[in-house]
């Protein structure tokens, strides 16, 4: 591989984190804590960072990406999590994970080239959607005639990707892995835009039929909402399985203060220095530094 190709292949840092705000840990309320903990450790490849009889934290190099909390009292309703999206540092890392999935019989539900990224899709044993992906560098992202980011859903050549995997045994997700974005099921995309754009302050990046993609700092999307299976859905109920909350991580103190003001002005609350607000369907976000 040439030096130029290597430079394009492995970004120095995650594109999703080059923004005033990015997505941090996603917390799921689960029915079988032991089973889900084992799945995110062994199948997904996250490290078990801490555990009690009621919760578990998993991540990479000390960074928590997924929190699991026992106590789901009822199934998830129509709104909630569509998928959490784990962002790998390079295409080689994505290929290594695909090889691991093939060797261990992990069932994929989809594989797509989105022009800005390449993604693999699956669900955990309780039906929570997961995307595992890698970004192309921003300079490679295609643009529409109006200058906006162009995204699509095209077939990802899995054989070609698999050919780039290493021969070493899979050692788990590599250092530098992060939570790239979160995709939600909502009842109405116009209302989702009103919340995440007009109240929270994210930029609308792309509209698909039935879906809106929003971001901070020019990323292709940190938060998405779709109505593909949830059109007209009402608020979620306390104790539902699935998404409990997700973190919005501020880059610095000034960004934290600005978002804190937005959240509290929009009807959010603050406990222990953590401002929290729920969207119209009860999907909760917590602002952290």
Tell me the pLDDT tens digit for each residue of 209-252.
999 999 999 999 999 999 999 999 999 998 999 999 999 999 99
Collect all residues with Cβ–Cβ distance below 8 Å to 261 and sequence separation of at least 6: none
What's the Cα-to-Cα distance from 10 to each of 3, 23, 176, rounded to whole Å?
Answer: 11, 21, 11
| No. of helices (H) and no. of strands (E), the chain | 6, 17
Torsional class of 91: left (φ above 0), alpha (ψ -120 to 50), beta (otherwise): alpha
What pLDDT was estimated at residue 13? 84
pLDDT band at 73 (very low <50, low <70, confident <90, very high): confident
pLDDT, one tens digit per residue, over 123-164 is 999 999 999 999 999 999 999 999 999 999 999 999 999 999
Beta pairing class for 223-226 and 178-185: parallel
Question: Coil, helix or strand for 31?
Answer: coil
Residue located via tokens 């409990």 = 244
Q: DSSP string of 179-232?
A: EEEEEEE-S-HHHHHIIIIIIT-PEEEEEETTEEEEESTT-S-SEEEE-TTTTT
Q: How far apart are CA 152 and CA 156, in angstroms?
A: 12
pLDDT of residue 116: 97
In angstroms, the CA 114 to CA 76 distance is 28
Work out the average pLDDT over 89-95: 97
pTM confidence score: 0.94
pLDDT for the residue 123: 98
Q: State the chain's mean pLDDT as an integer.
A: 94
SS3 15: helix
Please report the pLDDT score of residue 226 as a whole number: 98
**Which tops the pLDDT comparison, 8 or 76?**
76
Given a cut of 80, whether residue 7 has pLDDT beyond it is no
Are the C-beta atoms of residues 174 and 89 closer than 8 Å to each other?
yes
Confidence tier at 4 by pLDDT (50, 70, 90): very low
CA dihedral 73, 264, 274, 14 (to 10 degrees): 90
162 SS3 class: helix
**CA atoms lying within 13 Å on the CB side of residue 181:** 25
- pLDDT for the residue 288: 98
Judge whether residue 3 has pLDDT over 80.
no
Indicate the helix (H) or strand (E) that contains 281. none
Q: Is 250 helix (H, G, I), strand (E, B) or coil?
A: strand
Sheet hosting strand 274-278, strand order edge to edge: 47-51, 55-60, 63-70, 21-30, 242-250, 284-288, 274-278, 269-271
DSSP string, 41-98: IIIS--EEEEE-SSEEEEEETTEEEEEEEE---B---SSEEEEEEEEESSHHHHHHHH
Share above pLDDT 90 across residues of the chain, in percent, rounded to a whole number: 94
């Amino acid at each position: 591989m040439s030096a130029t190709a290597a430079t394009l292949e492995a970004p120095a840092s995650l594109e999703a984190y080059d923004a005033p705000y990015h997505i941090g840990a996603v917390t799921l309320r689960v029915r079988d804590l032991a089973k889900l903990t084992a799945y995110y450790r062994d199948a997904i490849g996250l490290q078990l960072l801490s555990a009690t009889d009621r919760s578990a934290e998993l991540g990479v190099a000390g960074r928590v990406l997924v929190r699991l909390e026992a106590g789901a009292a009822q199934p998830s309703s129509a709104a909630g999590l569509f998928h959490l999206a784990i962002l790998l540092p390079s295409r080689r890392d994505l290929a290594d994970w695909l090889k691991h999935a093939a060797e261990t019989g992990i069932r994929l539900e989809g594989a797509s080239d989105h022009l800005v990224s390449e993604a693999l899709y699956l669900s955990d044993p309780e039906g929570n959607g997961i995307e595992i992906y890698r970004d192309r560098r921003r300079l490679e992202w295609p643009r529409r005639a109006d200058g906006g980011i162009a995204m699509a859903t095209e077939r990802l050549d899995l054989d070609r990707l698999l050919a780039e995997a290493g021969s070493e045994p899979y050692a788990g997700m590599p250092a530098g892995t992060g939570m790239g974005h979160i995709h939600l099921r909502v009842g109405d995309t116009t209302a989702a835009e009103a919340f995440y754009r007009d109240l929270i302050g994210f930029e609308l990046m792309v509209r698909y039929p039935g879906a809106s993609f929003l971001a901070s700092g020019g990323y292709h999307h940190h938060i998405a909402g779709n109505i593909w299976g949830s059109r007209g859905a009402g608020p979620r109920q306390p104790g539902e399985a699935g998404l409990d909350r997700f973190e919005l991580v501020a880059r610095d103190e000034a960004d934290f203060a600005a978002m804190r003001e937005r959240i509290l002005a929009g009807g959010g609350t603050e406990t222990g220095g953590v401002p929290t607000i729920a969207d119209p369907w009860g999907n909760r976000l917590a602002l952290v530094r």
